[in-house]
Amino acid sequence: MILHEKIAAQLPEWRERMKSLAKDHGEVVVDQVTVGQIVGGMRDIKSLLSDVSFVDPGEGIRFRGMPIPELLKALPKARAAKMPLVGGLYYLLMIGEVPTKEQALEVEAEWAKRANVPDHVYKMIRSMPKETHPMTLFAQAVLALQNDSAFARKYHDGMKKDVYWEPALEDSLDLTAKLPVIAAFIYRMKYFGQTKKPKYNPKWDYGANFSKMMGVADKKGYAELARLYFILHSDHESGNVSAHTMHLVGSALSDPYYSFSASLCGLAGPLHGLANQECLGWLIDVKNQFGGVPTRDQLYKFAWDTLNSGKVIPGYGHAVLRVTDPRYMAQMDFAKKRFPEDELLRLAELVYDVVPQVLKEQGKAKNPAPNVDAISGTLQYYYGVREFDFYTVLFGVGRALGVTANYVWARALGWPIERPKSMTTKMLEEVVSKALQPA
Ligand code: NMX
Ligand code: MLT
């Protein structure tokens, strides 16, 4: 399979680079750690390595070195589509080169072959209480697939370290192929009571299949959105909760299913992926309170009321970014071209005008600009996916692409189990006292 061949061809050089860094330059100092960083969520400590994507605080994400506008232009497109094939993005994340259309379609064909979801997974989802959150169902479904892990099987049979990446790639392809099917099943079952298994059609690409399986009315429009959505949410370097969880759990040689299920549990937190559900809830609250798009002054007061009640304004702020998230801009651009008059979109635009000012006045958030979640729900809502507690599942389908690419490379380069060192508060206070003593 094409991804296997391409990774195998690149491996000797990458392994040499890693060896040289570890053996010849292991003592070179990269960063220092302050007390503030230890008690402040390890912000900005340069201690992770990933070549799949990088977030520049002043510019935003680059996928394999490519900013979003360049990426959307360069990747091959599905027939009669403006948005790229998701298979092309997966090729780029895994291999680091823009694929030809044939190469992107090879990945798509591989997904079509692997999209069959075992019966016991459907049974398990169907058996859960009706009110179960879709993210719980999604994480459980991924775990239920673990039984079929090639990585776990081969590890227990006794596999050599230098081939770990091969079953890791197999599992990653199987997993990413099944996720849109499982997500669509959860959607149709939970909100419409439909328990039929969705069918993945090999004639269509990943985005088109997802839109058909979801059963939205405007299937063409939604397929375009699905392609864009999965691409934009695929990766955000390695330090965010979902990516780092995948990496950490994977470093114990837990297989991709265990690792990704854990990653999804992190994504389900309201400060991370669940913010997209919270965002749309907040917009709808505004709309309901004012019977439509409010005035600037009304929105200004509503935003302050949110802050004064002790809540965050979802979709705004970021741990790394210090500008408007380019993923927000790409989605805004998509929406403005297709439905500029939509009421919720006009409201989201007004929020963009007002909330950064409110956050600046409050003076706490380091970045008062919107992140990816501030707008993604507005687009889903327009196409009829209005059950907003489902939105984080969509984020999860996309995020799998980046974190599995990182997983495969971590195994290919033989990275060790992750194990940072902790200290006690007393020890930290002693470090501070020592630093304060006159020399
Ligand atoms: N609304 C209100 N307060 C905020 C916001 C916001 N949108 N963003 C940051 N702050 C506060 C933050 O709670 C903290 O307060 P305190 O000192 O009382 O603890 C203070 O500003 C400093 O926080 P920062 O250093 O700017 O942000 P941090 O790196 O700690 O957190 C987020 C980053 C993204 C968790 C934070 O901005 C936030 O809670 N945003 C709203 C939730 C959200 O949109 N999350 C999605 C992020 C993207 N994603 O998809 O994962
Ligand atoms: C993400 O996409 O993971 C979020 O923007 C959070 C982050 O990068 O910290």
pLDDT in tens, 255-278: 999 999 999 999 999 999 999 999
CA distance 294 to 286: 8
Start-to-end CA span in the chain (Å)? 63
Own/partner pairs, 125-129, CB within 8 angstroms, 24+ separation: 125/182, 125/185, 125/186, 125/189, 126/189, 126/195
Confidence category of residue 33, pLDDT binned at 50, 70, 90:
very high
Given ligand 2 and candidates 54, 233, 237, 240, which is best to mutate, with the most ligand atoms within 8 Å of its CB? 240
If one residue of 364, 375, 392, 394 were mutated to test the ligand 1 pocket, choosing by the most ligand atoms within 8 A of its CB, it would be: 364
Tokens linked to 146? 């673990």
User: pLDDT by residue (tens digit) across 381-416?
Assistant: 999 999 999 999 999 999 999 999 999 999 999 999
Question: CB of 236 closer than 6 A to ligand 1?
Answer: no
Enter the pTM of the model. Answer: 0.97
Q: Which residue has the tokens 């994977």?
A: 250
Higher pLDDT, 234 or 79: 234
CB atoms within 10 A of CB 284: 16
Average pLDDT over residues 154-166: 98
Query: Shortest CA distance to 270 belongs to which of 373, 378, 369, 401?
Result: 373
Q: List Cα–Cα distances, 304 to 286, 291, 309, 358, in angstroms.
A: 12, 19, 9, 7
pLDDT band at 364, cuts 50/70/90?
very high
CB atoms within 10 A of CB 266: 20
Atom of ligand 1 at shortest range from CA of 40: 30
Task: Write down the pLDDT at residue 439.
Answer: 79
Average pLDDT, whole number, for the chain? 97
Torsion sign over Cα 284, 290, 292, 297: negative
Catalytic residue ranges: 272, 318, 373
The closest of 225, 248, 222, 244 to 235, measured between CA atoms, is 244
Q: How far apart are CA 228 and CA 330, in angstroms?
A: 9
Instruction: Give the residue, by CA position, lying nearest to ligand 1 atom 11.
Output: 365
**One-letter-per-residue 3-state SS of the chain:** CHHHHHHHHHHHHHHHHHHHHHHHCCCCCCCCCCHHHHHCCCCCCCCCCCCCEEEECCCEEEECCEEHHHHHHHCCECCCCCCECHHHHHHHHHHCCCCCHHHHHHHHHHHHHHCCCCHHHHHHHHHCCCCCCHHHHHHHHHHHHHHHCHHHHHHHHCCCHHHCHHHHHHHHHHHHHHHHHHHHHHHHHHHHCCCCCCCCCCCCCHHHHHHHHHCCCCHHHHHHHHHHHHHHCCCCCCCCHHHHHHHHHHHCCCCHHHHHHHHHHHHCCCCCCCHHHHHHHHHHHHHHHHCCCCCHHHHHHHHHHHHHCCCCCCCECCCCCCCCCHHHHHHHHHHHHHCCCCHHHHHHHHHHHHHHHHHHHHCCCCCCCECCHHHHHHHHHHCCCCCHHHHHHHHHHHHHHHHHHHHHHHHHCCCCCCCCCCCCHHHHHHHHHHHHCCC
Question: Span 113-119, mean pLDDT?
Answer: 98
Average pLDDT over residues 116-125: 98
Cβ(257)–Cβ(175) under 8 Å? yes
Ligand 1 nearest-atom number relative to CA 242: 51
CA distance 426 to 424: 5
Whole-angstrom Cα distance, residue 58 to residue 413? Answer: 30
C-alpha–C-alpha distance, residues 27 and 294, integer Å: 58
**Cβ 399 under 6 angstroms from ligand 1:** no
Residue with CA closest to ligand 1 atom 3 = 312
pLDDT band at 369 (very low <50, low <70, confident <90, very high): very high
Q: What pLDDT, on a 0 to 100 scale, did the predictor assign at position 4?
A: 98
The gap from C-alpha 213 to its chain's centroid, in whole angstroms, comes to 21
| Average pLDDT of the segment spanning 105-122 | 98
The closest-lying atom of ligand 2 relative to the alpha carbon of residue 372 is: 5
Considering only CA atoms, which residue is closest to atom 2 of ligand 2? Answer: 236
Each residue's pLDDT tens digit, 185-231? 999 999 999 999 999 999 999 999 999 999 999 999 999 999 999 99
Distance CA 292, CA 245 (A): 40
Q: What is the pLDDT of residue 261?
A: 98
- Mean pLDDT across the stretch 153-161? 97
Residue 96, by phi and psi: left (phi above 0), alpha (psi -120 to 50) or beta? left
Closest ligand to 374 CA?
Answer: 1
Tell me what the mean pLDDT of segment 228-252 comes to: 98
266 close to 275: Cβ distance less than 8 angstroms:
no
Atom of ligand 2 nearest to the CA of 243: 3
Looking at all shown ligands, the one closest to residue 55's CA atom is: 2
**Can you give the pLDDT at residue 217?**
93
Instruction: State in Å: Cα 340 to ligand 2 middle.
Output: 27
Mutate to test the pocket of ligand 1, among 366, 372, 376 (most ligand atoms within 8 A of CB): 366
Q: What are φ and ψ of residue 174, in 5° steps?
A: -60, -45
